């Protein structure tokens, strides 16, 4: 069950130890991933097939499924399942469509106009983790904003199932997104393939998608080796729940287990104003774990998680901001009074009836979020993630007269006389 700590007894060092996660002190993961990336760079498709045998236990005749394959697999799922995916697609699309906004032109001084225009990133790569449990929701979360942004080429990679295919749910999402090819590659090797390109898989400009520590490490290495960028360092999933005496311990346990069942490296943290509530949640965890199909995974994740008793909601928010959770749930009647104090979080779920799983699937917000404390500096995926914003400026005769001497003085101050001359030579023609 959850280990318990008293916030008042923790010094700064103790808090830092608690908020640290997913470290690789011996660089073991980095060494493995660097080797995979190098092999993919040198051998391309050949080593991708070898990795499919090694990691996915499947021999592949080809490294992709085309439109006919996708159509056939999509037709295997029931209509109620199709409808659920359609509703999720619609809600995600509705929310993300509001993010497309044209900025106004600003006249910074008479005759000097500046503005920004949006352009889509041309080639994006979407990594969808899974294999036998591949996540169709992640495909929607990445594919919908990519489509809204107008990306010309969307490359999707996902580990193959044991039959060398994908499941029908992912196939149906591909149809909703009008994507007619998916590449059967997983793990760090998929990131490397999209970063460098192979005989079959195109090189992209930006790589998106969550994954385990190997995928996360591969994304950071690829970004350092190439001019391919990444969305964020999104690693193992995590949740932090803030609860007071108004909370329902059964709800809290369910929310903690919803993250714990992702894998043993997931983390579920409870911060409560009540020791009694922490004990009640631990009791509920035992009850709910007993009937979970993925109870062994979830139980190990819970063993690596903890609960902290705090003196009040203000202390709870203070610790949460230090932790910077991927998902933050406020299970308190007082949530409206504390939301403005939240500084670091990927996505926030307010009140007793807003479980994190709603955001994972269908409320409309994006579930590809910063983990491991990166919520201090990263946002979740949005339409903005798939576009570039280019600045423009235009200066007319009046503007050149207005701004000219300022630029000349500043250029001379910095010793850049050619910069100064670019203004001066124009002023002579006015």
Q: How many CB atoms lie within 10 A of CB 425?
A: 9
**Per-residue model confidence (pLDDT) at position 386:** 98
In which band, very low, low, confident or very high, does the pLDDT at 213 lie, cut at 50, 70 and 90? Answer: confident
pLDDT band for position 411 (cuts 50, 70, 90) = very high
For domain 28-102+119-232, say whether CATH 3.20.20.140 is its number: no
Distance CA 54, CA 395 (A): 60
**pLDDT on residue 23:** 61
The token pair at 320 is 């949460």
Active-site option among 262, 327, 356, 408 = 327
Catalytic residue among 261, 326, 331, 356: 326
Residue 98 confidence (pLDDT): 97
Q: Is 406 exposed, middle or buried (0-12, 13-18, 19+ CB in 10 A)?
A: exposed
Same fold, 3-22+236-364 and 28-102+119-232: yes
The 8-class DSSP code of residue 133 comes to T
Q: What average pLDDT score do residues 293-303 get?
A: 94
> What is the CATH T-level fold of the domain 3-22+236-364, as seen in this structure?
Rossmann fold (3.40.50)
Q: How high does pLDDT run on average in the chain?
A: 95
Domain boundaries, the chain: 3-22+236-364, 28-102+119-232, 396-427
Token pair recorded at residue 273 = 């104003």
Q: What percentage of the chain carries pLDDT values higher than 70? A: 98
Determine whether 327 is an active site residue.
yes
Sheet holding 347-350, edge to edge: 3-6, 306-309, 267-272, 238-243, 327-331, 347-350
Closest CA to 173 of 143, 132, 130, 134: 143
Active site residue 93: no
pTM reported for the whole predicted model: 0.94
**pLDDT tens string 143-172:** 999 999 999 999 999 999 999 999 999 999
> How many Å apart are CA 55 and CA 214, to the nearest integer?
13
Measure the N-to-C terminal CA separation of the chain; round to a whole number of Å: 78
With contact defined as beta carbons under 8 Å apart, do 239 and 324 qualify? no
């Amino acid at each position: 069950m959850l280990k318990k700590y008293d916030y008042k007894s923790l010094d700064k060092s103790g808090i830092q130890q608690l908020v640290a996660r997913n470290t690789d002190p011996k660089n073991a993961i980095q060494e493995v991933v660097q080797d995979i990336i190098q092999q993919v760079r040198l051998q391309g498709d050949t080593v991708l097939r070898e990795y499919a045998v090694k990691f996915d236990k499947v021999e592949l005749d080809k490294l992709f499924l085309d439109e006919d394959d996708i159509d056939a697999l999509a037709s295997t799922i029931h209509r109620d399942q199709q409808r659920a995916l359609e509703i999720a697609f619609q809600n995600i699309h509705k929310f993300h469509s509001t993010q497309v906004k044209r900025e106004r032109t600003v006249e910074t001084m008479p005759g000097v106009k500046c503005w920004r225009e949006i352009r889509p990133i041309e080639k994006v790569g979407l990594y969808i983790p899974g294999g036998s449990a591949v996540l169709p929701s992640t495909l929607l979360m990445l594919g919908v904003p990519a489509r809204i942004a107008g990306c010309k080429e969307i490359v999707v990679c996902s580990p193959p199932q044991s039959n060398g295919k994908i499941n029908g749910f992912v196939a149906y999402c591909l149809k909703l997104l009008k994507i007619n090819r998916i590449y059967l590659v997983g793990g760090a090797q998929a990131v490397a393939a999209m970063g460098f390109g192979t005989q079959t898989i195109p090189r992209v400009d930006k790589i998106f998608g969550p994954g385990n520590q190997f995928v996360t490490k591969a994304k950071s290495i690829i970004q350092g080796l190439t001019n391919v960028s990444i969305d964020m360092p999104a690693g193992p999933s995590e949740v932090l729940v803030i609860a007071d005496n108004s909370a329902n311990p059964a709800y809290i346990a369910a929310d903690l287990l919803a993250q714990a069942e992702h894998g043993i490296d997931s983390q579920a943290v409870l911060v409560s104003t009540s020791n009694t509530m922490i004990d009640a949640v631990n009791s509920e965890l035992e009850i709910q774990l007993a009937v979970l199909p993925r109870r062994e995974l979830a139980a190990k994740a819970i063993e690596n998680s903890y609960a902290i008793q705090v003196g009040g909601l203000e202390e709870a928010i203070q610790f949460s901001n230090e932790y910077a959770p991927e998902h933050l749930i406020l299970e308190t009647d007082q949530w409206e009074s504390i939301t403005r104090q939240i500084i670091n979080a990927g996505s926030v779920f307010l009140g007793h009836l807003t479980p994190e799983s709603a955001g994972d699937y269908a409320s409309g917000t994006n579930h590809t979020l910063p983990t491991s404390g990166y919520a201090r500096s990263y946002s979740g995926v949005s339409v903005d993630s798939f576009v570039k914003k280019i600045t423009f400026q235009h200066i007319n005769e009046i503007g050149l007269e207005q701004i000219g001497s300022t630029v000349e003085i500043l250029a001379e101050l910095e010793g850049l006389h050619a910069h100064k001359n670019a203004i001066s030579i124009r002023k002579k023609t006015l």
